[in-house]
Amino acid sequence: MTAPPAAARPGLVVGIAFVVALAGRFTLARAGVDIPVVNDVRVPLFLILLLSLALESHHAGHHPGEGGQALLGVLLLLGYQAASVLWAPPGAVTGPILGDLCAMAGLLAVYYHLAAWDRDRVTDTTLKLCHVAAWVYFLAAATGRGHQSNGRWAALGGGPNVFVRLMVLGMITSLYLYLRNGERLIWLVPIPAFLFGAIASGSRGGLVGLFATIAIALLAIRPRIDFARIARPLALVGVVGTIVVITGGPLIAGFVQQRFVNATVGQGYTSERDVLFAMALRFFLQHPLLGAGLNGFPTLSGLGEGNVYVHNLPLSIAAEGGAIGLGLLLLAWLGLWHGYVAVPVRERGLAARTSAYCGIFIGATCLFSGDYYDARLMWILLLLAAVHPARAPATSVRTFSKS
């Protein structure tokens, strides 16, 4: 008697999806190449991703999933933001933002399909890829490539705020790999290095997001903390951290003093975030229902185009989407939360819980940096935590009694 064939599982398509999500708005112009249409690498990458997904899905068949309301809530928000182009102020450059919103919707649809297919495998692979990416960025920055003129660490064309996100994701996934692989201490060794990289990025918002995520995690696991169990891991992290500080600390000591102590504490320097936040709030009060329209903030602010944005996701949606936009944002978050808690705690799995914490961290950093497209990893990671394959219907067993 032959064994039944193993069910098809998502393979290469998961890696391609991660590369598409991580690439962001990378253009070939950074490499000195200018090719129309495909200059934005998302165009060829999305074509490859969709083709790979179609081929793998064709062999695997249909896979229904649960948690579709989580995806629907985010798509409603993105659709409303795209529709706000109808009342955008004259002169607003909306084409690139529409492209970003469509790209996010496409990515989320792909990840929903993958999560409905095999959520645990897809999430596990995605978290491992986050860990690998953190190492690649850290090693690139450690060589001095990509640093800004003021000494802030960055790498591979991304800014310090991108760099800090990957460093903290590297820390969280280090802990995930430690718990997943029999609590082998070797997996905790990278945590001090990634923390060093996060501090060297100079991103205050990223560090606040890290502390907020730690606080949320401690509140969630507080009743189950086993201090005897965590003593050795904490000791190892402390020893490795001390070595990292002794060997690498002098390289950034002056920068840390200037960035975090003198500028932030001494001078109250906020990188003009307070000005941007106040301006976004004023636009919301002026257009309370529908907002100023897509990409209306840089147009009405008079600050010009380019990298001018609010640096706060809820305030940005409030300024350009009004109360309706804020309501849809809340609905999207509630949909993701409902999809996550709908699964009993014992069935969520370590990968899903870790993905949720990673998404929470990215969401916290979206309160201080980034625009709409920079929130894509938050939506993806929270979606992976909320969606899962549909449960097989329970079969009823009938008992017939003899007449």
166-211: pLDDT as tens digits: 999 999 999 999 999 988 899 999 999 999 999 999 999 999 999 9
Q: Which helix (H) or strand (E) holds 65?
A: strand 65-66
Q: Name the pTM for this structure.
A: 0.90
The H or E element spanning position 31 is: none
Residue 2 predicted with pLDDT over 60: no
Q: Which amino acid is at 234?
A: L
Q: Which two tokens stand for residue 96?
A: 């690139």
- Rounded Cα gap, residues 179 and 193, in angstroms: 19
Please name the residues in contact with 317: beta carbons below 8 A apart, sequence gap of 6 or more.
Answer: 77, 81, 291, 325, 326, 329
- Number of Cβ within 10 Å of residue 392's Cβ equals 6
Residue 71 has pLDDT above 90, yes or no: yes
What is the overall mean pLDDT for the chain?
85
Distance, in Å, from the CA atom of 139 to the CA atom of 129, rounded to the nearest integer, reads: 15
| Residues 313, 339 contacting (CB under 8 angstroms) | no
**Separation CA 17–CA 53 (nearest Å):** 9
Closest CA to 317 of 374, 359, 371: 371
In terms of pLDDT, which residue wins out, 397 or 49? 49
Nearest to 354 by CA among 99, 201, 180: 180
**pLDDT single digits (tens) 370-394:** 899 999 999 999 999 999 877 665 5
